[in-house]
Structure 1
Amino acid sequence: MTMRSVLAGLALAAFSSAVAIAGNAGYPLTIENCGRTLTFEKPPQKVVSLGQAMHEIVYALDLGQRLTGTAVWLGPVREEHAEANATVPRLADESPSFESVVASGPSLVLSEFEWHVGPDGVVGTRDQFAELGIQTYIAPMDCTGKDNASGGNGRRVQPFTMEQVYRAISDLSQIFDVRDRGNALIATLKEREARAVASVARASDVPVLVWFTSPQMKGDASVAGSNGAPAYIISKLTARNAIASDDEWPWASWETIAKSNPAVIVLAAMDRRFNPGDDPQAKMAFLRTDPVASQMPSVQAGRYFVMRAEAMNPSMRTIDGIELLASKMREFGLAE
């Protein structure tokens, strides 16, 4: 063996070592997540995502190729992610079985809600997944300032802010070693919010009603109260919630709603049909024909519109909600 070949071999070995070190930069990585410490030796290669807010963060970070399955959907994925999503198996529209998640072979499961993966998770508990060597990451939006021990979807006890979404984006960008993508995504969302807020800077004290659903169209309505994503949207635009309630989604009669005299009514749209009031067309028909609702000035003036329910869940789409409400406030002459 010549000296040249020896030196070439040493150079190649040094280069390979440098690449290996660079590829593992920042690992092992430790993340604190909803009361648990997660440690990653390398970026996960196979991931299952439960909850549309989480799917869309993964796609926005250009990590769709890591997904081996999704579940828990409110509606269609954003158009710019449709091509990537088309190649990912959908395990279920709602809650998948524990077995179907495990069968897809993930090393990491992302969950938007502790209701799906948590102490009493309907899909599975974090310990059940851990016993199989599968890590679980819960969206900070669902465990920050929220009491999930109360059952169901829990109760938000502190106001939601977009910082919780930015924490999720930052965490995932670190876990998958795409920090630059995460920083760029957060910067874009902040810029969009700032522009929307500035566009209605002269609006003030506009009462806004957000109607999510109704089990019976002539019964009480599930509307936005305090602390949730709709309350954040409304507050950022210097408007106010028409229904004053400490609950995130209180029930209100139409007599109570009429007395609150909302200037704008926002109607949630979703693809699911658990309740008659899930259908935005049914909501609009009710507003136009109900003896009480139809007499509200906002209804008679046509100051109501449809917003996707995804924007009403704490997520990147909450920025969509701010932009849409700002636009409608200008259109309705309630802001300059």
Structure 2
Amino acid sequence: MSMNRPAAAALAAALCLLTAACGSSSDGTASDSTTEAAGSTSGYPVTLDNCGEKQAFEKAPGRVVVMNGGSVAEVSTLIALGIEDKVVANQQTYGMSEVPGRAEAIKKLPTGNVTLDDAYDIPRETMLGLRPDLVLSVTTYGFDQKNGFATREQLKQVGANSYVSPQGCDDDPSKMTVADSYQLLRDMGKIFNVNDKAEKLIAESEKNIAAVSEKVKGEKPPKVMVLFSNMSMGSNDFSSVVAKGIINDILAKAGGANAFEDAAETTFADLSKEKVAATDVDALVVISYNDPDPAAYAKKLLKEFPQWPAAKNNTYVTLSDSMYLGPSNDLAVEKIAEMLHPDAV
């Protein structure tokens, strides 16, 4: 699919889809997102310092609006925590998921009958008309007045808190890691007083990833090309190739390495066909963003570049939401490791 600039910017911002001023730093330590709960048996009040904005919660939000931003991290986190019933309007979807039933669960959520604006998200007056008490955005882009969105101050004036996901403060997802997915879970757990559930999900993910990483320890890391299927985000033939961000952390944990990590300082590399052809690609990860047949795109690429080791060995995997910020990164680590090191995993 072809994306215009606002949509591409929103998707890039989502990747974890999304930077270091908010959420977790690249070493997994908290950087600028802190939560405190006063000594109440209810778990409230909760105060969250989010991108320099103090958000105070006296009770669990009951009217949550999830902005688009090219992400499903936020809505998937709410579903994983079992609090999707709080959502009154959700604009996030990929159309598929590695988690059975998740795509269907997202599809069932109310949309608020919202008509998105030219920036592919909820315009200001529509947002205020939804009467939210919490608005979730992938990055600060979703609260930018010049894009026609309600600002965080305007939301505060009508009694709504707002939240920018980890690594979203600077609209730069290039430093994002799996630790940021855990920060998002932890923050939502505190805001909605489901801390135990959040910590359980984090512990399970950490355990699963550690088990896979141990199995592939010492194996030579194959060079992996990661890109979005049928998507154009720049001027060259290959403008949706991932160079930086959470995907590199996922690859490393799965015993792989990004073949194009040095091709750009930003999240995406805008590459020519010649550059792609001249690079040895041992394996291919194709990410679907509302593409019903990413495998067809993967096979087309392998046929186009028969000189790749990936083409000679038919080594590819298609994934979707587990490759982004969100609660299911352990599934991506497992599936990629199985592709790269089948004898070890």
TM range (shorter): 0.7 to 0.9
Once the two structures are TM-superposed, the CA of residue 169 in structure 1 deviates from its matched residue by 1.3
Does residue 223 (structure 1) correspond to residue 222 (structure 2)? The answer is: no
Once the two structures are TM-superposed, the CA of residue 108 in structure 1 deviates from its matched residue by 0.7
Q: Name the amino acid aligned to 1:240.
A: A
- Of stretches 179-188 and 100-109 in structure 1, the one that deviates more from structure 2 is 100-109
Does residue 90 (structure 1) correspond to residue 116 (structure 2)? The answer is: no
**Identity over the aligned pairs, expressed in percent?**
24
Contact persistence 1:69–1:90 (CA under 8 A):
yes
CA 1:83–1:270 in structure 2 vs 1: closer, same or farther (change >3 Å)? closer
> What is the TM-score with the length of structure 1 in the denominator?
0.77
Aligned residues: 295
Q: Identify the residue that residue 72 of structure 2 maps to in structure 1.
A: 52
Does residue 186 (structure 1) correspond to residue 202 (structure 2)? The answer is: yes
> What is the TM-score with the length of structure 2 in the denominator?
0.75
Q: Identify the residue that residue 61 of structure 1 maps to in structure 2.
A: 81
CA 1:255–1:179 in structure 2 vs 1: closer, same or farther (change >3 Å)? same
Contact persistence 1:229–1:318 (CA under 8 A):
no
Q: Identify the residue that residue 321 of structure 1 maps to in structure 2.
A: 332
Give 5+ residue unaligned stretches, structure 1: 1-20, 149-153
Q: Identify the residue that residue 257 of structure 1 maps to in structure 2.
A: 276
1:234 pairs with one of 220, 232, 251: 251
- The CA deviation string for residues 83-117 of structure 1, in whole angstroms up to 9 with x for no partner, is 75465212458523333333333211111232223
Q: Identify the residue that residue 310 of structure 2 maps to in structure 1.
A: 298
CA 1:176–1:218 in structure 2 vs 1: closer, same or farther (change >3 Å)? closer
Q: Name the amino acid aligned to 2:319.
A: M
SS at match of 1:79: coil
CA distance in 2, matches of 1:121, 1:283: 35
CA distance in 2, matches of 1:37, 1:22: 19
Once the two structures are TM-superposed, the CA of residue 28 in structure 1 deviates from its matched residue by 2.1
Contact persistence 1:75–1:271 (CA under 8 A):
yes
**Greater relative contact order (Cα < 8 A, sep 6+):** 2
1:271 pairs with one of 272, 276, 290: 290
Once the two structures are TM-superposed, the CA of residue 218 in structure 1 deviates from its matched residue by 8.3
After superposition, the CA RMSD in angstroms is 2.9
Q: Identify the residue that residue 41 of structure 1 maps to in structure 2.
A: 58
Once the two structures are TM-superposed, the CA of residue 198 in structure 1 deviates from its matched residue by 2.2
Once the two structures are TM-superposed, the CA of residue 189 in structure 1 deviates from its matched residue by 1.4
Q: Identify the residue that residue 163 of structure 1 maps to in structure 2.
A: 179
Q: Identify the residue that residue 18 of structure 2 maps to in structure 1.
A: none
Once the two structures are TM-superposed, the CA of residue 217 in structure 1 deviates from its matched residue by 11
Contact persistence 1:29–1:175 (CA under 8 A):
yes
Higher helix proportion, which one?
Answer: 1
Contact persistence 2:125–2:150 (CA under 8 A):
no
CA distance in 2, matches of 1:259, 1:56: 38
Q: Identify the residue that residue 10 of structure 1 maps to in structure 2.
A: none
Once the two structures are TM-superposed, the CA of residue 303 in structure 1 deviates from its matched residue by 1.3
CA 1:121–1:57 in structure 2 vs 1: closer, same or farther (change >3 Å)? farther
- Of stretches 239-248 and 28-37 in structure 1, the one that deviates more from structure 2 is 239-248
- The CA deviation string for residues 11-44 of structure 1, in whole angstroms up to 9 with x for no partner, is xxxxxxxxxx997633222111112111111121
CA distance in 2, matches of 1:303, 1:82: 26
- The CA deviation string for residues 133-158 of structure 1, in whole angstroms up to 9 with x for no partner, is 21111111323xxx33xxxxx463xx
CA distance in 1, matches of 2:129, 2:162: 15
1:114 pairs with one of 140, 146, 169: 140
Q: Name the amino acid aligned to 1:164.
A: D
Contact persistence 1:72–1:95 (CA under 8 A):
no
Q: Name the amino acid aligned to 2:85.
A: Q
Q: Identify the residue that residue 137 of structure 1 maps to in structure 2.
A: 163
Q: Which portions of structure 1, spanning 4 or more consecutive aligned residues, are displaced by more than 6 angstroms?
A: none
